[in-house]
Structure 1
Amino acid sequence: MNIDVTVNQTYLPLLKNDTRTQILFGGSSSGKSFFLAQRTILDVLGGHRNYLICRNVANTIRKSVFNEISKTIIEMDLSKAFSINKSDLVITCNLTNKQILFAGLDDPEKIKSITPIEGVITDVWVEEATETRYEAVKQLNKRLRGRSKVNKRLILSFNPILKSHWIFEEYFDGWEDDKTSYHDEKLLIIKTTYQDNDFLEKDDVYELENEPDKYYRDVYTYGNWGVLGNVIFKNWETRDLSDIKHTFDRFNNGLDFGFANDPSALARMYYNKKKKELYILDELYEHGLTNDVLADRVIEKIGSEVVFCDSSEPKSIQELKNLGVRALGAKKGKDSVNHGIGWLKQQKIIIDVSCQNTKNEFQKYKWKEDKNGIVLPTPVDKDNHLLDAIRYGMERDMVRKGIQFVN
């Protein structure tokens, strides 16, 4: 079967590389996930490999790596060669009977039971691997067993985030920061940036090259392991709340509007005022939602409960009301961002393990710095959509002296 596929030059040597552990990391828009999607499809077409592709939380898979591979199949003009089961998140090659399976690491029992229809799993690819726990990835490595005609591989792809991460400690002992690759008989590490992407648009290049914040520039533009100083929140933890969610009797909901570049973000919470404990129970974090679709998503999450929204979009709030959402505008007010941060820092914040995007935002939210490295009393306005939603939803519990809120 003749296949016409164009691969970024940087990644061409990896098409047939069978090193046991492969790490592809670096900056945003470097093309690493797109290449891995291409290679996955070609490998399955080859007839010797079955893939298990994972992310830390199952509900993030459908709109990320599953969609990436489905789109790539279409772009490679291979739709007739594959059957895509959107409900079960299984892609089967009709020519070879090999499969691409998807699972979240938040359901370990499901991971244990996943088996392809023919042969064994030969490749485990963990997308956004910095979201995962050490123990989860080690368990995945154990899934790579059984007879096969090819060497088995564990593949990790990610933006590097922080040097304190377990991935850096586990795999980067021989890494040199001034190099772009490392290779021994068991481990391959490749670092790429936007400059390695032959297909990047000029607008994307401009945004990456003109990123003002040092941390985001180091990590997302240049693909370096970051050292995140001046983190705002350290008073949070993640926990599996599935056993106690049903015991909560009242909820706070907040919504931040978005569309193309920014996601629509909904946070559903429970607040124990006596203990000063804030529980983040559920989230919505999705791009491209028109208000009619957003209304359906919000109602799925919170039913007939009230949700406090960004008041800078009164038209959107009214449209949500017309569509059955009990939407109200948050009052905000002067210095509301810093006041909300100060209030949140006084609480114990518990984030459910399913709320991956909330965890990501708490982990990276930081104060701005001037050109001399002096910390400014203003947060970096990036990756804060759920944090804004949390502030809106908790506004009435953080009432400032002299301000009265009315329905």
Structure 2
Amino acid sequence: MILRIKHPEKIFNDVYFKNLKNTYGTQIYFGGASSGKSYFILGQRTILDVLTSNRNFLIVRNVARTNRHSTFNEVLKGIANFNLTDYFKINKSEMTITAFNGNQILFAGLDDVEKLKSITPAKGVITDIIIEEATEIRYDAFKQLTKRLRGKSDVKKRITLMFNPIYQTHWIYKEFFQGWVDDKEEFINKGRDLYILKTTYRNNKFLTADDIERIESETDPYYRDVYIEGNWGILGNVIFRNWKVEDTSKYNFDRYINGLDFGFANDPAAFVRMSFDRKRNRLFILDEIYATGLDNEELAKLIKEKIGSELVTCDSAEPKSIQELRKYGVNARGAKKGKGSLETGYKFLQKLEIIIDPKCQNTINEFTVHKWKENKNGEALPIPEDKDNHAIDAIRYGIEDEIIENTYIEEEMEW
């Protein structure tokens, strides 16, 4: 199949267009938020490649369920934008996309290893692996993925990583960014068959004026440097270092606690299911709901599917929402109110050993980057940033009885 695009400048961002035929074995597209990198790779290049060359794609994220509303939707949006729907058979339940020529785009999560091992395209072999939010995955998982690129193929195989950078101690930085300078846009290491492209919102000519204003309104120096400018950060003043990721299915739990932070506008609603081991001072984070755009009825349905009639402690700043959850069958209550609870809650959590199940990727992301506010000299203040804390707030609400029991506060607590 030959596709002719009359006005590519109206469809592609200039910085990406030159990479439509990029065949480097390892490709990295990273940088700031809203740079258009995911849409180019998932919603443009992948679609054109699967139609015009003998390529089969495996698109992965760390947790399988996060694919449906991110990578899968991005590919579907791209197919629609190209007016190519008639050339694809789309299986939404299995999340498989098959082109008219038999080539396929498959989706998987690294949390289901057995399923990942068994994924095979209908014809040929997997030629391309795309890892969205690559900073979420572990190094050993990456190495296992590279082994999926096996078998004979008449096209060169590629593995593509996409992400916003976080901190310089991450394995991706250590593995691929030796010699990198943050003011570079492009980096090529022919000896390693490696290509790196860094982009920011300035490379995305399709952003609206409102989009740009929202991005440029960020004032925090760390967030500007990492999430806006796309530079690798230094770990710095993160609040929690007392946590690890571990499969919790090997533990037995006889008691569960649940917390909920309501979403506001573009902020996600965050529900966290936990268990607390008083004897060992261990907090287990077992499951999560983390989504935007849910009304209270939809949120209630998701919560009931996970916990049935168990109690969930919610942000009491939303009494109307709590009342609606009850109407829809959730055993909901508001967190207690009083002074000093934020500081007390953080101090309590810092004393625990916190174990987070790998499927709670959004909670992991928050614990990775949630930090103290800083003064103009970059020194930490004893005040948490009001960012990357939705799941953490839900945890505080859920565990409040334990905090109250274990902490003496003269004044009534406020959460």
Q: Same fold (TM over 0.5)?
A: yes
| Contact 1:119-1:148 within 8 A present in 2 as well | yes
3-state SS of 1:22 partner: strand
Choose which of 156, 162, 165 in structure 1 pairs with 2:167: 162
Q: How far, CA to CA, are the matches of 1:66 and 1:76 in structure 2?
A: 16
**C-alpha distance after superposition, 1:51-83 (max 9, x if no partner):** 000111112111111111112211221111112
Root-mean-square deviation (CA, aligned residues, Å) is 1.4
* 2:366 aligned partner: 361
* 2:347 aligned partner: 342
| Contact 2:261-2:270 within 8 A present in 1 as well | yes
| Contact 2:29-2:37 within 8 A present in 1 as well | yes
3-state SS of 2:206 partner: coil
TM-score when scaled to structure 1? 0.96
State yes or no: 1:352 paired with 2:364.
no
* 2:145 aligned partner: 140
* 1:262 aligned partner: 267
Give the letter aligned to residue 234 of structure 1.
R
Give the letter aligned to residue 361 of structure 1.
E
State yes or no: 1:223 paired with 2:230.
yes
| Contact 1:3-1:76 within 8 A present in 2 as well | no
Q: How far, CA to CA, are the matches of 2:53 and 2:231 in structure 1?
A: 36
3-state SS of 1:398 partner: helix
| Contact 2:338-2:411 within 8 A present in 1 as well | no
Q: How far, CA to CA, are the matches of 1:392 and 1:204 in structure 2?
A: 33
Q: How far, CA to CA, are the matches of 1:228 and 1:275 in structure 2?
A: 28
* 2:217 aligned partner: 210
* 1:84 aligned partner: 90
Choose which of 107, 124, 127 in structure 2 pairs with 1:119: 124
Aligned ranges for residues 8-407 of structure 1 at < 5 Å? 8-37=13-42, 38-93=44-99, 95-185=100-190, 186-244=193-251, 247-399=252-404, 400-401=407-408, 402=410
Q: How far, CA to CA, are the matches of 1:72 and 1:260 in structure 2?
A: 26
Deviation, 1:3, is: 5.6
Per mean C-alpha deviation after superposition, the further-off stretch among 232-241 and 69-78 is 69-78
TM-score when scaled to structure 2? 0.94
Per mean C-alpha deviation after superposition, the further-off stretch among 381-390 and 133-142 is 133-142
Deviation, 1:403, is: 6.2
**C-alpha distance after superposition, 1:213-250 (max 9, x if no partner):** 22211111000001121111011011011232xx2111
Give the letter aligned to residue 69 of structure 2.
K
Q: How far, CA to CA, are the matches of 1:88 and 1:313 in structure 2?
A: 37
Deviation, 1:183, is: 1.3
Q: How far, CA to CA, are the matches of 2:32 and 2:393 in structure 1?
A: 26
Give the letter aligned to residue 257 of structure 2.
N
Q: How far, CA to CA, are the matches of 2:181 and 2:270 in structure 1?
A: 38
**C-alpha distance after superposition, 1:87-126 (max 9, x if no partner):** 1111111x21100001111222222111000111000000
**C-alpha distance after superposition, 1:179-218 (max 9, x if no partner):** 1111133000000000001111222222222212222111
Give the letter aligned to residue 50 of structure 2.
V
Give the letter aligned to residue 204 of structure 1.
D
3-state SS of 2:249 partner: coil
Q: Which runs of 5+ in 2 are unaligned?
A: none
Give the letter aligned to residue 65 of structure 2.
N
Deviation, 1:141, is: 1.0
| Contact 1:237-1:350 within 8 A present in 2 as well | yes
Give the letter aligned to residue 69 of structure 1.
V
Deviation, 1:2, is: 4.5
Q: Which runs of 5+ in 1 are unaligned?
A: none
Q: How far, CA to CA, are the matches of 1:361 and 1:119 in structure 2?
A: 40
| Contact 1:57-1:356 within 8 A present in 2 as well | yes
Deviation, 1:260, is: 3.9
Percent identity for Structure 1 against Structure 2: 57
Q: How far, CA to CA, are the matches of 1:364 and 1:239 in structure 2?
A: 18
Give the letter aligned to residue 352 of structure 1.
D
Q: How far, CA to CA, are the matches of 2:45 and 2:304 in structure 1?
A: 39
